[in-house]
Structure 1
Amino acid sequence: MSSTPLPLVINALGTLDNPNLQFAPGAADRAKLAYGNSAAGVDARSLADALASGLTAVNITLGHVAGSDDPFETTVRDIASWDALIRSHGEQLRKVHVGADIAAARAARQIGVIYGFQNTEMLGTQLERVRLFADLGVRVIQLTYNGRNQVGDGATVADDRGLSAFGREVVEALQQQGVLVDLSHSSERSCLAALDLARRPLAITHSGCRAVADHPRNKSDAELRRLAEGGGVIGIYWMPYLRLQGQPLAADLIAHLEHAIDVCGEDHVGIGTDGCVSAIDDRDAYRRHLEAEVETRRRLGIGAPGETAEVSLFLPDLCGPGQFARLAELLAARGHGEARIAKLLGGNFARLFNETLTKTP
């Protein structure tokens, strides 16, 4: 695979920021949570690295995830910031409204930016905000983070009640507005309830397989199977939850990918790294920053079991601009053919976005 250009690469959940800016000497707030993308975290290096990696499109995390700031105001401000960033980098970036925009970005050698949320707290209890955010260009909305919100229960809620009545309305409204419903971070009951309601395919943009690593952030075979039956796609992440102890490596990622293929079929599996493209320059500074982030997540009550600063939020042997090409090489060495690798790296999510990012009459 290394001698030929990469196929379409779609990161179903990732970032375009330069992570080194967060913990460089003189950084203002080492403890600040770096959920995906503040537009201020994007610089010339991170854009150059993303383009060099072969990335075609990425679903970024916008707006409120957790914390005390007003969820609605925070989110609207972040959307405006990203709109301004894309306008100022029109040669490199393209905002994705429909699936065809991803193909257009690839043809123009740009990166398609897919606006996404990792929570629904910015909706409050106002269903009409679904249409508002859809009109502002948000194309992926995750129902819950780890805890409970007004829509339903997340992955770490002990007494899993599934979706609320309002949550069921939200799922229907999102699909009507051509917004892809994301079931990452959801509890099992919330996930299965949304899949039962769905009239279009859904996504799990960034998770793993519970049968490989029994962690609440990973998905059961029942969830995976039901997702695939409805035409959906799971993106396997490059996160600590790929294994229960120690630092995950590329081999752990491949184990989850292969299990998901066994359960879902090769047409329903992709990648959602939950991370960046640029490599970490100073691992010691990164570790200090991660310690502060783990503590902040614990204090806010949004951390997942087993989170520790001893385990990096990336795969040490699969990072930097060469990460996608290296994954393709490793999959080929495992006997996966070029057609399957092309589906895993982006083809399956391209199909999903083409099918779902349109409003219904």
Structure 2
Amino acid sequence: MLQQPAPRYQGHKSYSYLEPHTDYRVFPLAQEVGRVPEHDLGLSDGQRERVTRLLTEHIAISLHEHPVVLPEDVSRLREYNRTARQRTGYEGLSRSGLTAVFDNFMAGASCVTSENGWKWNDLIYALGMRMSDIYQQDYVTLATSLADIHAAKRDGRLALVAGLECSSPIENELDRIDILYGFGVRQLGIAYSQANMLGGGLSERHDGGLTHFGRRAVDRMNKLGIAIDISHSGDQTCLDVIEASRVPVFITHAGARSVWDTSRMKPDEVIRACAERGGVIGIEAAPHTTLSAEHPHHSLESVMDHFAYCVDLVGIDHVTFGPDTMFGDHVGVHNTYAGNYAHDAGNRPEHPRVEYVSGVENPGEAFGNIVGWLVKHDYSDDEIAKVIGGNTIRVLEQVW
């Protein structure tokens, strides 16, 4: 369900304070609005009005996105990323209905100094360049506290929470966590599919769990007030992190392995353990992840099968959404970086391939359609308020 642009948005385009072709390289970019057909939920006028009211009245937080605009020709993605000037999708975000977005800067794809990503220097490029542009406009604002998120809601702005889905760039330097905190980062993942100094990734056939250094890192994140993400960690590492952390942790973007049997999804044991310690799982929507036997052609319906299962498993107080979308050809991103990062150590069930995930294709449309689905399926206002932001706020009150 496409929202109208936020009144506060004044049309800023990334790096428009610089001179194109002189200060930075120019790439034709993907459309932020209208790149794919609008998803038709079949809502009545009254239901559409309710969606708008819910997003207006309540805080809506996407727990995991990459709200950058990709090049129109995705074959130029590595060339684009090497410039370190990924563009923020301000126009698309202005139509999202979101109060806040956890922006997981694409450090793994910011291959400025290395083709393999996750290097400390490349991470600093990714953070610094994007932040320099964010500070040049008045709609998206960096959030480092709950007060900032509430202020954004009050002022008609969109709060951006800086996050990283992998701690590999800190190497064995614990103080780099403090440096990232100083740069405004408020959420960190443990491992991105492959093992690192902290623990095991979900693509490894043998997960040794959280390392001694990983336990020290978890302790440091707790002391600083950095939310911990275990979405791409191996199962044992997930359980170890949940146990080691003194505050609840997030599974910011995943689904249920009982619904779709791949290592990218989380087993019931991990989802339950996360919830029992007060944590929350954000339901993923990146192409070819949260599929289901009932809806193997990936769409909003597939995603919501995982949502419904997790609500039944751990209760509505422990589920939210982290769609993990971007503006442009997400499938093309996966194809471009397929050689860099393995995602599945084991089986890959057969399923139809899609060009995009209808209904949750980008950060501008995802939450409007998610709320539309919830309205259509008769969830109460209170239940919807919890799963679009209230549950995340509750965890952040303990973490931050």
Instruction: Report TM bin, short chain.
Output: 0.7 to 0.9
Q: Which residue of 1 aligns with 2:254?
A: 207
Does residue 10 in structure 1 map to residue 64 in structure 2? no
| Structure number having the greater helix percentage | 1
CA distance in 2, matches of 1:260, 1:33: 38
Relative to structure 1, the CA distance from residue 81 to residue 242 in structure 2 (aligned partners, 3 Å threshold; closer, same or farther) is: same
CA distance in 2, matches of 1:121, 1:308: 31
Alignment of 1:220-259 (within 5 A): 220-239=267-286, 240-243=288-291, 246-259=296-309
CA distance in 1, matches of 2:147, 2:355: 32
Does residue 53 in structure 1 map to residue 96 in structure 2? yes
Could you state the TM-score of these two structures normalised by the residue count of structure 2? 0.77
Q: Which residue of 1 aligns with 2:376?
A: 333
CA distance in 2, matches of 1:217, 1:33: 27
1:181-200 Cα distance to aligned partner (Å, 9 max, x none): 10111110000000111110
- 1:332: how far off? 2.3
Q: Which of 124, 129, 133 is matched with 1:81 structurally? A: 129
Contact 1:247 1:311 in 2 (8 A): yes
Q: Which residue of 2 aligns with 1:349?
A: 392
Q: Which of 299, 306, 311 is matched with 1:261 structurally? A: 311
Moved more, 178-187 or 7-16: 7-16
Moved more, 305-314 or 169-178: 305-314
Structure 2 unaligned residues grouped into runs of 5+: 1-46, 110-114
Query: 1:241 aligns to what SS in structure 2?
Result: coil
Q: Which of 87, 102, 121 is matched with 1:41 structurally? A: 87
Letter in 2 for 1:311: R
Relative to structure 1, the CA distance from residue 128 to residue 238 in structure 2 (aligned partners, 3 Å threshold; closer, same or farther) is: same
Q: Which residue of 1 aligns with 2:367?
A: 324
Query: 2:68 aligns to what SS in structure 1?
Result: coil
Contact 2:271 2:314 in 1 (8 A): yes
Q: Which residue of 2 aligns with 1:148?
A: 195
Q: Which of 206, 226, 251 is matched with 1:179 structurally? A: 226
- 1:161: how far off? 0.9
- 1:107: how far off? 1.1
- 1:23: how far off? 2.6
Q: Which of 209, 213, 229 is matched with 1:162 structurally? A: 209
Does residue 297 in structure 1 map to residue 337 in structure 2? yes
Relative to structure 1, the CA distance from residue 68 to residue 213 in structure 2 (aligned partners, 3 Å threshold; closer, same or farther) is: closer
- 1:29: how far off? 1.8
1:45-81 Cα distance to aligned partner (Å, 9 max, x none): x312212220111111226326435711111222221
Query: 2:320 aligns to what SS in structure 1?
Result: strand
Query: 2:123 aligns to what SS in structure 1?
Result: helix
Q: Which residue of 2 aligns with 1:315?
A: 357
Moved more, 121-130 or 68-77: 68-77
Contact 2:108 2:116 in 1 (8 A): no
Contact 2:280 2:391 in 1 (8 A): yes
Moved more, 59-68 or 148-157: 59-68
Query: 1:348 aligns to what SS in structure 2?
Result: helix
Q: RMSD between aligned alpha carbons?
A: 2.6
CA distance in 2, matches of 1:63, 1:18: 12
Letter in 1 for 2:72: F
Contact 2:264 2:343 in 1 (8 A): no
Query: 1:77 aligns to what SS in structure 2?
Result: helix
- 1:348: how far off? 1.1
Contact 2:291 2:303 in 1 (8 A): no
CA distance in 1, matches of 2:389, 2:342: 30
Query: 2:159 aligns to what SS in structure 1?
Result: strand
1:323-344 Cα distance to aligned partner (Å, 9 max, x none): 3222222112223211111111
Query: 2:152 aligns to what SS in structure 1?
Result: helix
Could you state the TM-score of these two structures normalised by the residue count of structure 1? 0.85
CA distance in 2, matches of 1:155, 1:69: 18
Letter in 2 for 1:171: V
Q: Which residue of 2 aligns with 1:72?
A: 120
CA distance in 2, matches of 1:336, 1:132: 42
Structure 1 unaligned residues grouped into runs of 5+: 281-285
Letter in 2 for 1:230: R
Contact 1:294 1:309 in 2 (8 A): no
Query: 2:338 aligns to what SS in structure 1?
Result: helix
- 1:251: how far off? 1.4
Contact 1:39 1:81 in 2 (8 A): yes
Moved more, 65-74 or 76-85: 65-74
- 1:311: how far off? 3.2
Letter in 2 for 1:10: I
Moved more, 165-174 or 70-79: 70-79
CA distance in 2, matches of 1:47, 1:309: 34
CA distance in 2, matches of 1:309, 1:168: 38
- 1:34: how far off? 7.1
CA distance in 1, matches of 2:351, 2:90: 27
CA distance in 2, matches of 1:206, 1:266: 16
Q: What's the % identity of the aligned pairs?
A: 23
